[in-house]
Amino acid sequence: MRADLHLHTTASDGRLTPQELVEKAVKLKLEVIAITDHDSVGGVPPALEAAKSFPQLIVIPGVEINTDIPKGEVHILGYFIDYRDSGLNRTLEELRNSRYERGKKMVAKLAEIGINVDWTRVQELAGGGSIGRPHIAQTMLEQGYVSSLREAFTKYIGRNGPAYVERKKLTPIEAVKVVLNAGGLPVLAHPADIEPLEPFLLQLKKAGIVGIEIYYNGYNSKTIAQLKRFAKKLDLIACGGSDFHGLGEDIGADIGSVDLPRESVEQLISLSKQKRTVMP
Ligand SMILES: [Zn+2]
Ligand SMILES: [Zn+2]
């Protein structure tokens, strides 16, 4: 099965509109995609609308919530969420506001070191969606401060860069609850760098995650094999996706570029159906 369960649109820091993303997925003959924007479900309704013309494509409403642990960042994916849920939308709005404030602070820090990033352009690139670091990086590129998006991250706005700013985030367990409360299936995104992973997975499994991302851009066969062992041991679905942002070749993977087993997608879909039948 051609599937990609991790995709960003202009509702967060992706370059394609939901409509364009759906059209691209159809062109690539994908059968199942999930829209998983950072802290936003704004891309879901237009993607579902666009997909009405293509019955061969299943679009899963999703989200990717950025959360914090002491040693770094953890992302929680939510699949089959009720994107109209008011509690979900309230929480996501708070998270997006914190992104806006953080973006402004980063631009101020850049100004202190002589890099005058055009804030209007950053907002324009975000197009009313969640402001992300790629929008700042793109503006820096356009203004000639860096020669690639990667350079903006490694030199300035990456986690160890001089203009990096933290923002308010949920804990991973809180994010899992947000997804569950909106009727969704929580999945841990790109977990390979989390140390130590096993106790963390146990904790999240207890909180309600149903899967972990194993088939992911840049994961080699050794990493995949190790993650598969964890998934098997804890009875978690082996999920995956490209984390496509549409930013071009120097940063990130292309849509549909990760081989996801049919079984994984089917498990996820059947779990969502089971859940719907037990829910009131
Ligand atoms: Zn992520
Ligand atoms: Zn992502």
Residue 166 covered by a domain: no
Supply the pLDDT for residue 198. 93
Q: Tell me the residues surrounding ligand 1 (ion) with CB < 5 Å.
A: 75, 189
In a domain, 189, yes or no: yes
Domain co-membership, 232 together with 190: yes
In 3D space, the residue among 75, 64, 74 whose CA is nearest the CA of residue 42 turns out to be 64
> Ligand 1: distance of its center to the CA of 75 in Å?
5
Note the pLDDT of residue 278.
Answer: 54
As a whole number of angstroms, the distance between CA 11 and CA 254 comes to 18
How far apart are the CA of 87 and the centre of ligand 2, in A?
A: 22
Final residue belonging to a domain, choices 128, 157, 186: 157
At residue 164, the pLDDT reads 95
Residue 273 token pair: 């159906």
Residue 39 φ/ψ region, left for φ over 0, alpha for ψ in the -120 to 50 degree band, beta for the rest: left
State in Å: Cα 114 to ligand 2 middle.
30
Domain shared by 116 and 228, yes or no: no
CA 200, 131, 182, 228 torsion-angle sign: negative
Q: Indicate whether 7 and 80 sit together in one domain.
A: yes
Q: Using one digit for the tens of pLDDT, what is the confidence trace for 76-128?
A: 999 999 999 999 999 999 999 998 999 999 999 999 999 999 999 999 998 87
Q: For residue 108, what are the domain limits?
A: 93-157
**Do residues 178 and 271 share a domain?**
yes
- Considering the domain architecture, whether residues 80 and 29 belong to the same structural domain is answered as yes
Say if 46 falls within a structural domain.
Answer: yes
> Do 140 and 12 fall into the same domain?
no
Residue 222 confidence (pLDDT): 96
Asked if the structure places residue 197 within a domain, the reply is yes
Q: Are residues 79 and 182 in the same domain?
A: yes
Q: Spell out, as residue ranges, where the chain has pLDDT lower than 50.
A: 279-280
Alpha carbon of 4 to ligand 1 centroid (Å): 14
Nearest ligand atom owner, CA of 37: 2
CATH of the domain at 188: 3.20.20.140
Separation CA 275–CA 127 (nearest Å): 35
Q: Residue 185 half-sphere exposure, CB side, CA atoms within 13 Å?
A: 24
Q: For residue 123, how many other CB atoms are within 10 A of its CB?
A: 16
CATH of the domain at 110: 1.10.150
User: Would you say residue 162 lies in a domain?
Assistant: no
- Report the pLDDT value the prediction gives residue 249, as an integer from 0 to 100: 59
Q: What is the DSSP string of 190-246?
A: S-TT-SSHHHHHHHHHHHT--EEEEEETT--HHHHHHHHHHHHHTT-EEEEE--B--
Same domain, 195 and 249: yes
Distance 87 CA to ligand 1 centre (A): 22
- Calculate how far, in angstroms, residue 49's C-alpha sits from the geometric centre of ligand 1: 25
**Final residue before a domain boundary, out of 157, 183, 205:** 157
Query: Can you say how many angstroms the Cα of residue 136 is from the centroid of all Cα atoms in its chain?
Result: 18
Do residue 102 and residue 64 come from a single domain? Answer: no
72-79/211-216 β-pairing = unpaired
On whether residue 164 sits in a domain, the answer given is no
pLDDT of residue 240: 96
**CB–CB of 2/28 below 8 Å?**
yes
Query: What is the predicted pLDDT for the residue at 280?
Result: 41
Total domains in the chain come to: 2
